[in-house]
Amino acid sequence: MIGTTSAADPAGPTTLTQTFAKPTESTTCKGGWVSSHRYWAFLSYSHADGAAARRLHRGLETYRVPRRLVGRPTAQGPAPRRFSPIFRDREELTADAHLGVRIEEALAGSAYLIVLCSPNAARSAWVNQEIIRFKSLHGEDRVLAVILSGHQRASERPGHEAEECFPPALRWRVGAGGVLTDQRAEPIAADLRPGKDGWRLTRLKLLARMLETGLDDLARRDAQRRQAQYAALAGVSGTVALAMGGLAVAALLARNEAVAQRGQAEGLVEFMIGDLSQRLEPKVRLDVMGAVADRAVAYYAVEARHGMDADALARRGRVLRQLGWIEQDRGDLVKADALFRASADSARQLLAARPRDPARLLDYASAAGRVGQIAAQRGQWQDAEAWTRDAARAADQLVSGGDRTPTAIAEQGSEHVNLGVILMQQRQLAAALVELRRGVAIQSGLFDAGGLDRGRRDDLVQALGWLADGERQSGDAASALRDREAEEQVLDKDLRQTPNDRLALDALAVSRVARARILSNQGRVAEALSLARSAAAVAEQALAQDPADTVLADDAAGAQQTLGEVALAAGDLADARLAARRALSLAGTLAAKDQGMIAWTGPRLGAARLLGVRLAAREAVGATACRNALAMAVPESHRLEALSATNPASASLARIAADAVMLRGDAAALAGDWPGARADWRRARDALARLTANPAPVDPVATRLARAAQQRLILTNRTRPPEIIAQGCGAGPVK
């Protein structure tokens, strides 16, 4: 299945002794050795590089220091058995980029700072502030850098500024008060870019620096250990490699004699890549599978040229599909795409020989569907549509041919839903709704019959969400509400079994937010307010279980934003004030974590700030107070307009920017600048017209804002009535 798209502020900061040992006290690290710090290192990185940070963090913490070096004195205390713990958690950072208490404590209590460098990190105010603070506390010498992508000092070459990987605080020394000086800093850097150090050498470089030992010695000992650890697995993979190599020759010289050997060798390969790989640690799995995978692909390339029997062809399809899953997990969509296409080719050949065989139909539907999903992830929508249509046709033929098993029916439903999602992305809304409704009907039938396991229920939840979104975009609000209610019924079943399931809670919050917005747009404000309150509470319940999860934080921010807007429309200023404050806190934290995430820095943060402006205007008494409140939107309007100009594909960003320009015009009108006000309202109207023009999906908010802008222009072209001057004061924005 293709993926989908509060209360008052928490209590005050925790004191140092409540959470962490003081940095000057001796603490016991894992392994029993005493050190003068809480953490061996603080890992600083951009949210966009989270996968690499997790891998590096795991690699450093799980490394076993050679016995000869354990307990050896270093500048930061005796060498431990393992470099654990290393701090990688994320703490809230406010919109003005000041570090939170917990991060301050972790920086103070860390022996080293490791910075994962990339263009994302170079743009991150969060990462830069962490470097400045660490240098201010501990100096320059304990800062280590790892280059993930980009180029160092690229910002000093005109035209290459976007390629810079070092944050400013890493490029320059830090002076008194955390101020960057004009003195260059030369950080020690390992290099993870293609063709450079690689993961193993990068880890050893960092560990050698913290152990204060030679890299050669550590690398030699690590190689010896790896050789011992992989001896048994190497024997297995060596057997496979020899069998496969000999088999390629045998296949050419004596195919009849090689049949039995081929079956054994291919079975061993399938076991290695399938069952065995799932039992290994992720790092070991990738290391061991690499050589076997290369041999398998090379072998099947030879076999394909000389013909393969049905058993070999089926096994080839399964093996290549498993390899595709491994590459997809590693994030290499190009390799995954090639492997899935090769797997689909095997399935197609088998199906051509026996076009009504249920097992072959299911294999082909699954393989073709996987190719379509990868194409969709890569933005290749026409290719994705072609493959997914093929998958849906095969699944339809499978079920119509008599296979009514839950597996076959679930495959059919998923492929039609995926096709609908792909059509939606190509703005073919009518055709998308046909496919989505068919897919949802199929999956709902299984759900009603009790034939959906937890994973397939998650698929149904996503499918209902997509269908409701498509119906809302087509203007069918009643159907969208009905499908959101059906989505909640599915989620209720999971939550009855596991009440604290944070993913189910988050999905429930998102569904209720969508319903609240639809009801609010219909003028059913009281119902919308009740749902919005419930959505915000559920979202906070999910976030409390994993505060570092940015998806949960983003959804919680959206729930609080909706509650604030609906409460403001209902005249409940107390609820609106609390929700607006919480929405701004969450949005500011997300935006500060990664300024490259446009969804956070643009629509999310912009909407929260504009909600605060509207709330201030509603509470204002008199024209002067209202003008001052609305004037707070002026700098935000310029920021959002500039951001939208550089990201023209984002409709949500364009809408929030136009909303800000509307408020800027209101502020100008209250200041008596009627030409400026009309210019801003006209600018907002024209921007919104592009969002509401056919064949754009129905956007009730953009439509309402466009109507309000046009109303302002009509009224001010005739006269300057008092209602225009008082716009937004006491009565809120025009609805």
Contact indicator for 167, 185 with CB cutoff of 8 Å: no
* DSSP summary character for residue 700: H
What band does 78 get if pLDDT is binned at 50, 70 and 90? confident
Is the bond preceding 722 in cis, omega lying within 30 degrees of 0? no
pLDDT at 113: 94
Place of tokens 């009603």: 448
How do beta strands 143-147 and 188-191 pair?
Answer: parallel
Cα angle 290-295-301, degrees, rounded to a multiple of 5: 130
Residues making up the chain, counted from first to last: 735
pLDDT at 30: 38
Average pLDDT on 281-303 reads: 51
pLDDT tens-digit profile of 217-266? 676 666 555 554 444 444 545 555 555 555 444 444 444 444 444 544 45
Tokens of 378: 């890569």
Distance CA 643, CA 610 (A): 16
Average pLDDT on 57-83 reads: 85
Contact indicator for 358, 403 with CB cutoff of 8 Å: yes
What band does 699 get if pLDDT is binned at 50, 70 and 90? low
Is the per-residue pLDDT at 36 higher than 70?
no
Is the per-residue pLDDT at 157 higher than 90?
no
Is the per-residue pLDDT at 568 higher than 90?
yes
Distance CA 66, CA 364 (A): 50
Whole-structure pTM value: 0.56
DSSP for 67-96, written as a single string = TTTTT---TTSSPPSB---EE-------TT
Cα angle 108-112-118, degrees, rounded to a multiple of 5: 110
Average pLDDT on 603-609 reads: 93
Place of tokens 């792909």: 422
Contacts of 118 (CB under 8 A, 6+ apart): 46, 48, 49, 147, 148, 149, 150, 165
DSSP for 518-557, written as a single string = HHHHTT-HHHHHHHHHHHHHHHHHHHHH-TT-HHHHHHHH
